[in-house]
């Protein structure tokens, strides 16, 4: 029956078998568990890392450390546009900056920047050459930018999201397996990261 569950998951059963297998799964808790486990494993093996291992945690750690510039959202209904900019810094570190700003109200922009020397990649979207030219400075000096009303902290803080590179992904399960040969991999300060990426356990199992 376990094979059937697996085949069902892979879409390899015909209609009769599907109905039959589902009935079995409903009846037997063990099979239901298998179903969940297969999905857990499948998720792990397949999309491993929309957010790959270390990058996500590093970014969030960095974000925690970054001084947050809180600015009020514009009251008028200006569209908040997201400008993401990646500065390949030839001199010091690679600076990836995500710039949030209100396009029209330049006197009260909503600005956030994060810097990270990891392989953080951000998409570049620039509307006008003027803004394009000003971004590198903006990215590095946002905190001191006088046009930002830094002191006003209001009910709605700005939230920063960092677009991450999803081009290269790691199957996180590998780290766990590698731990078989390296005494360090499991207890090395991050739980096998793949665990973080697997979907939340199903409620049916947790009941």
50 binds another protein (CB under 8 A): no
Scanning 3-11, 82-90, 94-102, 130-138 for contacts with another protein by CB under 8 A, the matching segment is 3-11
195 binds another protein (CB under 8 A): yes
Identity of the residue, 30 or 141, whose beta carbon is nearer to another protein in the bound complex: 30
**Cβ at position 112, least distance to another protein in Å:** 22
Q: How far apart are CA 122 and CA 69, in angstroms?
A: 20
Q: Are 93 and 117 in contact (CB under 8 A)?
A: yes
Q: The tokens 């297998």 sit on which residue?
A: 21
41 binds another protein (CB under 8 A): yes
174 binds another protein (CB under 8 A): yes
16: which 2 tokens?
């009769």
Scanning 38-46, 68-76, 82-90, 145-153 for contacts with another protein by CB under 8 A, the matching segment is 38-46
Identity of the residue, 54 or 66, whose beta carbon is nearer to another protein in the bound complex: 54
Q: Find residue 83's DSSP bridge partners.
A: 99
Q: Are 162 and 122 in contact (CB under 8 A)?
A: yes
Q: How far apart are CA 101 and CA 98, in angstroms?
A: 10
**Selected binder of another protein within 24, 58, 66, 160 (CB under 8 A):** 58
Q: Are 120 and 54 in contact (CB under 8 A)?
A: no
19 binds another protein (CB under 8 A): no
184 binds another protein (CB under 8 A): yes
Q: How far apart are CA 84 and CA 98, in angstroms?
A: 4
For 68, counting Cβ atoms within 10 Å of its Cβ (0-12 exposed, 13-18 middle, 19+ buried), the class is: middle
**Interaction residues for another protein, span 62-101 (CB under 8 A):** none
Binding site for another protein (CB under 8 A): 2, 5-6, 9-10, 33-34, 36-38, 40-42, 44-46, 52-55, 58, 118-119, 167-171, 173-192, 195-196, 198, 200-201, 205-206
């Amino acid at each position: 029956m376990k094979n059937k569950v697996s085949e069902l998951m892979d879409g390899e059963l015909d209609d009769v078998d599907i109905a039959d297998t589902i009935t079995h799964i409903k009846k037997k808790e063990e099979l239901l568990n298998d179903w969940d486990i297969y999905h857990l494993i499948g998720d792990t093996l397949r999309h491993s890392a929309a957010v790959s291992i270390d990058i996500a945690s590093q970014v969030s750690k960095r974000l925690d450390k970054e001084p947050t510039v809180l600015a009020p959202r514009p009251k008028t209904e200006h569209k908040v546009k997201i400008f993401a900019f990646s500065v390949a810094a030839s001199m010091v570190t690679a600076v990836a900056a995500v710039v949030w700003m209100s396009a029209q109200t330049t006197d009260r922009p909503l600005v956030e920047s994060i810097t990270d020397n990891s392989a953080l990649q951000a998409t570049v979207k620039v509307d006008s050459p003027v803004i394009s030219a000003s971004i590198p400075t903006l990215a590095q000096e946002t905190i001191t930018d006088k046009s930002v009303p830094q002191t006003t902290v209001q009910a709605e803080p700005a939230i920063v999201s960092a677009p991450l590179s999803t081009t290269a992904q790691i199957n996180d399960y590998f780290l766990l397996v590698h731990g078989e040969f390296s005494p360090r991999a499991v207890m090395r300060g991050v739980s096998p990261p793949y665990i973080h990426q697997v979907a939340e356990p199903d409620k049916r199992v947790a009941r």
